[in-house]
Amino acid sequence: MEFEKKIHDLLDGHVNVVEIDLLRGGLSARDQRHGTWPREPAQIIVSRADRRSTAEVYPCPLRQRIPAFYVPLRSHEHDVVLDIQPLLDECHRLGRYWQLRYDEPSAGPVSESDLAWAQGIAREAHLMA
């Protein structure tokens, strides 16, 4: 897998790596290198070049907004805070998601309770019967 190789090459180098995993499945690059740990279906992982043995993990539970997170820059610069939720909201608004078939099975793993919650929202928005 080309993406996985690229991430591993970055992690082997002396660069900061930010992995935004919203796919709700598979293993993150850090999972593959160090073994898995309890996680949300989606997460953001920040791996700093000068602290490679640890990582900052920002869980992204389905029912909550995606958290803002710190992005490391160069060692002499302060981190910046990145809030991607407004961007995702705009993509959702412009992306014609009302045309999807919300009554079909989910594309990724989802718990029964999260599925019931999502279906309730889809029903309230008249996206499914």
Express each pLDDT in 85-104 by its tens digit.
999 989 988 988 777 777 77
What is residue 39's predicted lDDT score, i.e. its pLDDT? Answer: 62
**What pLDDT, on a 0 to 100 scale, did the predictor assign at position 5?**
83
pLDDT of residue 71: 97
| Per-residue pLDDT tens digits for 28-81 | 555 555 555 556 678 899 999 998 888 898 988 889 999 999 999 998 999 999
pTM exceeds 0.85, yes or no: no
C-alpha 24/C-alpha 116 separation (Å) is 17
Q: Which H/E stretch holds residue 80?
A: strand 80-82
Cβ contacts of 128 within 8 Å, gap of 6 or more: 102, 103, 119, 122
